[in-house]
């Protein structure tokens, strides 16, 4: 805990003064350009990956970068999506998976989650990805997990379209969807291309978009 306290002190002493003008503007409101839905994994930092400043991303993080389909009892993820799209008017939504994801590893390997019933229930929102992943032959457990990470991003892109605010924004042409997979070791980011229905290098094809 002391490391966190020391970090706050360094922020107030060094980082905050350097960005004082930015924070004065942000104190009056926010205008992020994108909603970024990522995993809660401590190794995945959306602002670091995208090199964004405070106020540029509206971030939602949860186990497995999951987006539950819209339902009669919307939860925190649904509420955050609605606020970002309706109130903040973001133009882009990024759903970002990552390598060595514990949630996807648990699904791909049928891990025993008896001791974590909340996690087990939450991961059911990835059942579509699990079904697709299980239908394919994989050369190894590592390959199955790698594929599961990608399959899950595609499945969550489908889920987010069930949200009325997203469906409307897409219909009106004011919102684009993006599916990314971040490799922790290499820093490489792959993007789902909706036209070819495959993942491509974001560096090589920066215009790749999940929205067809």
pLDDT in tens, 71-113: 877 789 999 999 999 999 999 999 999 999 999 999 999 999 9
pTM of the entire predicted model = 0.94
| Interval 159-205: pLDDT, tens | 999 999 999 999 999 999 999 999 999 999 999 999 999 999 999 99
Identify the CA nearest to 104 among candidates 160, 182, 50: 182
Which pLDDT score is estimated for 110? 92
Place of tokens 């399959």: 151
Which pLDDT score is estimated for 104? 96
Handedness of CA 110, 111, 112, 118 (dihedral sign): negative
| Interval 15-42: pLDDT, tens | 999 999 999 999 999 999 999 999 999 9
Report whether 147 contacts 138 (CB < 8 A): yes
Which pLDDT score is estimated for 71? 84
Report whether 50 contacts 82 (CB < 8 A): no
User: What dihedral do alpha carbons 18, 187, 129, 118 form, nearest 10°?
Assistant: -50
Which pLDDT score is estimated for 72? 76
> Which DSSP string corresponds to 62-85?
ETTS--PPP-SS--HHHHHHHIII
Handedness of CA 57, 58, 63, 64 (dihedral sign): negative
Rounded average pLDDT over 3-17: 93
DSSP state for residue 140 in the 8-state scheme: S
Calculate the alpha carbon distances from 131 to 21, 125, 135, 147, 174 in Å. 50, 12, 6, 12, 32
Which pLDDT score is estimated for 75? 84
Which domains are assigned to the chain? 1-30 (no CATH), 31-201 (3.40.1050.10)
What's the CA gap between 192 and 177, in Å, rounded? 10
Report whether 105 contacts 144 (CB < 8 A): no
CA atoms within 13 A on the CB side of 144: 18
């Amino acid at each position: 805990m002391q490391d966190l306290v020391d970090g706050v002190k360094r922020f107030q002493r060094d980082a905050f003064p350097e960005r004082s003008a930015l924070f004065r503007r942000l104190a009056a409101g926010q205008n992020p350009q994108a909603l970024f839905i990522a995993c809660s994994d401590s190794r995945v930092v959306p602002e670091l990956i995208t090199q964004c400043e405070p106020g540029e991303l509206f971030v939602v993080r949860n186990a497995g970068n999951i987006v539950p389909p819209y339902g009669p009892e919307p939860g925190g993820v649904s509420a955050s999506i609605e606020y970002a799209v309706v109130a903040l008017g973001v133009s882009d939504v990024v759903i970002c998976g990552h390598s060595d994801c514990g949630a996807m590893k648990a699904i791909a390997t049928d891990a025993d989650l008896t001791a974590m019933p909340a996690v087990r229930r939450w991961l059911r929102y990835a059942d579509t990805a699990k079904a697709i992943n299980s239908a394919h032959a994989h050369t190894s457990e590592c390959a199955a997990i790698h594929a599961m990470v990608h399959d899950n991003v595609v499945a969550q892109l489908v889920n987010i379209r069930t949200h009325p605010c997203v469906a409307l924004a897409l219909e009106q042409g004011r919102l684009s969807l993006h599916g990314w997979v971040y490799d922790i070791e290499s820093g490489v980011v792959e993007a789902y291309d909706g036209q070819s229905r495959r993942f491509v290098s974001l560096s090589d094809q920066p215009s790749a978009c999940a929205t067809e």
